[in-house]
Amino acid sequence: MDSHRFNTLTIHGGQHPDPSTGAVMPPIYQTSTYAQSAPGVHQGYEYSRTQNPTRHALERSLASIEGGTHAMAFGSGLAAVDAVLKLLQPGDEVISTSDLYGGTYRLFTKVYAGFGLKFHFSPMQDADAVRAMVTDRTRVLWVETPTNPMLNTIDIEAMARIAAECGALLVVDNTFATPYFQRPLELGAHIVLHSATKYLGGHSDVVLGALVVKDPALAERLYFIQNASGAVCGPMDSFLVLRGIKTLHVRMDRHQSNAQALLGFLQDHPAVEKVYYPGFGGMISFVVRGNDLATASRVASALRVFTLAESLGGVESLVGHPATMTHASIPKEQREAVGVTDGLLRLSVGIEHPDDIIADLKQSLDPLV
């Protein structure tokens, strides 16, 4: 099945009818425990923190669409980040994208730095600059591409070469691109990370995280952490993301076409100072004229099709203000240095009619002219 094309894998990859009933969709196994015919004699499932058939179906699907062999599903994207960091020891060092998700930055600097891990931040567009940051304690290169919210892209293959040179793991957060546009394992990454809350789930109705790998030994370490730490997702959440994956390719096409239709409007509007778009996908960021909090707030609050809310990747269009929402935990001077200013707004372009999306932004921006 994994030899099939991506659109087919989203529907069939790693899946099979339920063996007990023939159900085409995996049932929601809403159970905590499983009967054993004798002590230690069971059908592969003992306790749902360790294994659950619905979560297992999701993990097979995730591995298939990312071109991996093993996947682990967690209770949130940050729980997946946490699991990766638990591979490390005090004194180990991580080189990370500088304009990354604020929650990841907070976990790095406010939690794990206190346990002895060291974090270094770089834009990562310059491979030589990243290479110069490597020390004999570098254990992980942490890449978001496109980055959140500046939408910079990073050369995964170049980072993979550096990781190979220093014996580090390359972790790529693929949340914004999704495997529809980018498959990091095929470019040399060791671990692919997702906030499946976003595009994989796709309907703003679930919180879930995931990791995908190819190396069986690395998978065993991560499965141990998943079970030992217990930050797993429930069967209903697993079902919702599995359901979302089946339409991922259809939705990503529409997210992208709507974003590209909106791009020209924003670039030409006199109330917009700058537009950021990576060339693919459904995310756009832009700076309002004046680059100030009051103007950005007025624009975001006046939108009617777009909803002012945290998160992204759902079928509905969302607008966020990173400086006060997703990146509020990053010190002002540091976030502004990478472009996350008070006048920056981030758009998660949904799958509504493009004319309605453009008209909504027009009625919000025109009063500034």
Could you report the per-residue pLDDT of 320-348, keeping only the tens digit for each? 999 999 898 888 998 999 999 999 999 99
Which pLDDT does position 233 carry in this prediction? 98
Q: In terms of DSSP bridges, do strands 283-288 and 344-348 run parallel, antiparallel, or are they unpaired? A: antiparallel
Which pLDDT does position 2 carry in this prediction? 62
- Residue from 29, 101, 105, 180 carrying the catalytic annotation: 101
CATH of the domain at 121: 3.40.640.10
Which pLDDT does position 58 carry in this prediction? 98
Residue 325: domain span = 249-368
214 & 303 share domain: no
Q: Among 206, 229, 245, identify where a domain stops.
A: 245
64 & 36 share domain: yes
State yes or no: is 101 an active-site residue. yes
Q: Among 245, 262, 296, identify where a domain stops.
A: 245
Q: Name residues of the chain where pLDDT drops below 50.
A: none
Which pLDDT does position 118 carry in this prediction? 98
Lookup result for tokens 């567009």: 125
State yes or no: is 137 an active-site residue. no
Residue at 291 is within a domain: yes
Residue at 1 is within a domain: no
Check: CB of residue 100 under 8 Å from CB of residue 74. no
| CA–CA–CA angle 142, 114, 324 (5° rounding) | 65
State yes or no: is 34 an active-site residue. no
Residue at 317 is within a domain: yes
- Residue from 82, 99, 173, 237 carrying the catalytic annotation: 173
- Residue from 49, 86, 131, 221 carrying the catalytic annotation: 49
- Residue from 118, 198, 251, 346 carrying the catalytic annotation: 198
220 & 317 share domain: no
Residue at 218 is within a domain: yes
Q: Among 245, 272, 305, identify where a domain stops.
A: 245
Give the chain's domain count.
2
State yes or no: is 332 an active-site residue. no
Q: Going along the chain, which residue ranges are E strands?
A: 70-74, 93-97, 118-122, 138-144, 169-173, 191-195, 209-213, 272-276, 283-288, 307-308, 318-320, 344-348
Which pLDDT does position 188 carry in this prediction? 98
Residue at 287 is within a domain: yes
Lookup result for tokens 């778009």: 277
